């Protein structure tokens, strides 16, 4: 049980903890750092070069429609397939979709081959990722203490058990709103969560009266000019009383709820903590537990306490899945709570994995293809490749001579865009060694000799009869 009591007279000492940093979403690979969104105008029309994208306008516009459908919640249970050759921007498009959706919509990216692990069944891993992609927005009215932190003072006492060291008896936290200030005397357990949330003087926080959990809302406006380099979220000084009822919105995924309910509930004492350190207990999420969680979730939804936010499950290189996974996908898409599934495949007609000899387009079985909206990505022309390479070299801080740029574009036409983009950084190194600020045609040619593309590498193997 936690203890919160209000203190009448505020003490003067303040202790500042380390400043918290805002959590931002990281993109999964640095290969796409130049992609900032789909680059569409207000009518959903793609500008030739925008959002980090070059060309591929039809696919970008189609993805824009998908984003609109997801936002208006008309898309759940449907699936999209991005189909096109290697390096035509399928992964980049999926990332752009997630950027357009914003951080409030769950986006769970996986690669087909991730599902193969010795420990977890493939379909089980798929199910888990399905649930990571379904969000729940829970609204609750709670009794809270909210304000800008003006003081954090832990009050120590001699260790009651004797010996050295002191224990923290309680912590005094001063909170300020536009209406006034209040000092709270808080339980030591709350001090721990204050440290965990990295709360410092000048932050706006609220403490839940019932549970004592502390939530950092952001940094107070008054400090806005202090660290303007930091990616901080600044919030205004809360209005009204410090002690009040507040509507709290929490975004969780179904997987979060599964996990929270599967964790063995232990006490906070040292012994059980040691126990956890010594033998980490595996959390087991069973089908039964999921059904229970679903029941509670639908009850919340019926009561209007929670709202379902179907997010996106992106399965890259989907041709790596086998027939068992595809069957699962088919069934899972029919469930009443399903996310939007986006698949990507760079295969043409190939054998479906796990079957003897079922050939199918994109390596997907026919009954799954039937359910998909297919967005195709086309190969780039010489000019488009030049623009993409230019963009990429800017992101990497490299300067290309115009000859080198042309050379790279021609190589890309014969090999792939990805190969050329990969040549950029080694070419940058060569130019640096030669004390040149610009990458020259020679640097590119040398890199081409040093690093093979897939086709030449295959040829070497054929010519030398493999490694025999």
Ligand X SMILES: Nc1ncnc2c1ncn2[C@@H]1O[C@H](COP(=O)(O)OP(=O)(O)OP(=O)(O)O)[C@@H](O)[C@H]1O
Q: Binding residues for ligand X, how many (CB under 6 A)?
A: 21
**CB-closest chain residue to ligand X:** 89
Closer residue to Mg ion in complex, CB, 146/317: 317
Tokens of 23: 């959590």
| Residue 86 interaction partner, one of ligand X, Mg ion, none, beta carbon < 5-8 Å per kind | ligand X
In the complex, least distance from residue 34 CB atom to ligand X, rounded to whole angstroms: 6
Residues in region 71-90 near ligand X by CB under 6 A: 84, 86-90
Q: Which of 37, 38, 40, 53 binds ligand X (CB under 6 A)?
A: 53
Tokens of 434: 């030669």
> Distance between CA 356 and CA 193 in Å, rounded?
56
Question: Binding to ligand X by residue 222, rule CB under 6 A?
Answer: no
Residues in region 299-358 near ligand X by CB under 6 A: 346
Question: Binding to ligand X by residue 51, rule CB under 6 A?
Answer: no
Q: Which of 56, 76, 88, 91 binds Mg ion (CB under 5 A)?
A: 91
Question: Considering just the CA atoms, what is the radius of gyration of the chain in Å?
Answer: 28
| Residue 252 interaction partner, one of ligand X, Mg ion, none, beta carbon < 5-8 Å per kind | none
For residue 80, count CB atoms less than 10 angstroms from its CB and return exposed for 0-12, middle for 13-18, buried for 19 or more: buried
Question: Binding to ligand X by residue 393, rule CB under 6 A?
Answer: no
In the complex, least distance from residue 183 CB atom to Mg ion, rounded to whole angstroms: 55
Tokens of 269: 């004492």
> For residue 290, how many C-alpha atoms fall within 13 Å in the half-sphere facing its CB?
14
Nearest 10 degrees: CA dihedral of 446, 451, 456, 462? 120
Q: Binding residues for Mg ion, how many (CB under 5 A)?
A: 1
In the complex, least distance from residue 112 CB atom to ligand X, rounded to whole angstroms: 11
In the complex, least distance from residue 150 CB atom to Mg ion, rounded to whole angstroms: 50
Residue 371's nearest CA partner among 60, 81, 71 is 81
Site map 148..187 versus ligand X, x via CB under 6 A: ----------------------------------------
> Distance between CA 448 and CA 230 in Å, rounded?
41
In the complex, least distance from residue 418 CB atom to Mg ion, rounded to whole angstroms: 9
| Residue 87 interaction partner, one of ligand X, Mg ion, none, beta carbon < 5-8 Å per kind | ligand X
> Distance between CA 366 and CA 348 in Å, rounded?
13
Residue 60's nearest CA partner among 104, 94, 109 is 94
Question: Binding to ligand X by residue 28, rule CB under 6 A?
Answer: no
In the complex, least distance from residue 315 CB atom to ligand X, rounded to whole angstroms: 12
| Residue 88 interaction partner, one of ligand X, Mg ion, none, beta carbon < 5-8 Å per kind | ligand X
> Distance between CA 56 and CA 47 in Å, rounded?
10
In the complex, least distance from residue 456 CB atom to ligand X, rounded to whole angstroms: 18
Here the contacts of 60-65 (C-beta below 8 Å, separation 24 or greater) are 60/93, 60/96, 62/375, 63/38, 63/93, 63/96, 63/97, 63/375, 64/38, 64/40, 64/100
> Distance between CA 235 and CA 175 in Å, rounded?
15
| Residue 174 interaction partner, one of ligand X, Mg ion, none, beta carbon < 5-8 Å per kind | none
Q: Which of 63, 293, 417, 439 binds ligand X (CB under 6 A)?
A: 417
Q: Stretches 28-36, 63-71, 140-148, 294-302: which one binds ligand X (CB under 6 A)?
A: 28-36
> Distance between CA 399 and CA 385 in Å, rounded?
16
The residue assigned the tokens 């050329």 is: 420
The residue assigned the tokens 């832990």 is: 154
> For residue 124, how many C-alpha atoms fall within 13 Å in the half-sphere facing its CB?
10
Residue 371's nearest CA partner among 336, 340, 413 is 340
Question: What is the binding site for Mg ion (CB under 5 A)?
Answer: 91
Question: What is the binding site for ligand X (CB under 6 A)?
Answer: 31-32, 35, 52-56, 84, 86-92, 346, 388, 417-418, 421
């Amino acid at each position: 049980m936690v203890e919160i009591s209000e203190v009448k007279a505020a003490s003067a000492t303040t202790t500042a903890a380390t400043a918290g940093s805002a959590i931002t979403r990281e993109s999964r690979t640095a290969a796409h750092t130049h992609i900032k969104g789909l680059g569409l105008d207000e009518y959903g029309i793609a500008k030739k070069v925008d959002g980090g994208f070059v060309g591929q306008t039809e696919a970008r516009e189609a993805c824009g429609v998908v984003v609109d459908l997801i936002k208006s919640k008309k898309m759940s249970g449907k699936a999209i397939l991005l189909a096109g050759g290697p390096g035509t921007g399928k992964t980049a498009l999926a990332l752009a979709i997630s950027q357009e959706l914003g951080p409030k919509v769950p986006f769970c990216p996986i690669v087909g081959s991730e599902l193969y692990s010795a420990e977890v069944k493939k379909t089980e891993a798929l199910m888990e990722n399905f649930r990571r992609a379904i969000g729940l927005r829970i609204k609750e009215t709670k009794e809270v203490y909210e304000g800008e932190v003006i003081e954090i003072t832990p009050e120590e006492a001699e260790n009651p058990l004797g010996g050295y060291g002191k224990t923290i008896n309680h912590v005094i936290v001063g909170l300020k709103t536009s209406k006034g200030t209040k000092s709270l005397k808080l339980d030591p357990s709350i001090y721990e969560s204050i440290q965990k949330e990295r709360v410092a003087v000048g932050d706006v926080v609220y403490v839940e009266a019932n549970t004592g959990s502390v939530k950092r809302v952001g940094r107070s406006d008054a400090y806005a000019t202090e660290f303007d380099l930091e990616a901080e979220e600044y919030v205004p000084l809360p209005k009204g009383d410090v002690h009040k009822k507040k509507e709290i919105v929490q975004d969780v995924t179904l997987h979060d709820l599964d996990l929270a309910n599967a964790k063995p509930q232990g006490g906070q004492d040292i012994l059980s903590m040691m126990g956890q350190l010594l033998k980490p207990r595996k959390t087991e999420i069973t089908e039964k537990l999921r059904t229970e969680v679903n029941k509670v979730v639908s009850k919340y939804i019926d009561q209007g306490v929670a709202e379902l936010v179907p997010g996106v499950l992106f399965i890259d290189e989907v041709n790596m899945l086998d027939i068992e996974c595809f069957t699962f996908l088919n069934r899972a898409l029919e469930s009443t709570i399903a996310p939007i599934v986006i698949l990507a495949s760079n295969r043409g007609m190939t054998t479906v994995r796990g079957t003897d000899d079922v050939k199918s387009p994109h390596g997907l079985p026919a009954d799954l293809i039937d359910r998909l909206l297919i967005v195709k990505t086309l190969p780039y022309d010489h000019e488009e490749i030049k623009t993409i390479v230019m963009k990429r070299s800017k992101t990497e801080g490299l300067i290309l001579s115009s000859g080198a740029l042309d050379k790279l574009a021609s190589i890309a036409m014969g090999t792939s865009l990805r190969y050329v983009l990969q040549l950029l950084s080694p070419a940058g190194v060569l130019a640096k060694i030669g004390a040149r600020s610009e990458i020259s045609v020679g640097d590119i040619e040398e890199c081409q000799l040093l690093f093979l593309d897939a086709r030449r590498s295959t040829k070497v193997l054929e010519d030398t009869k493999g490694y025999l």
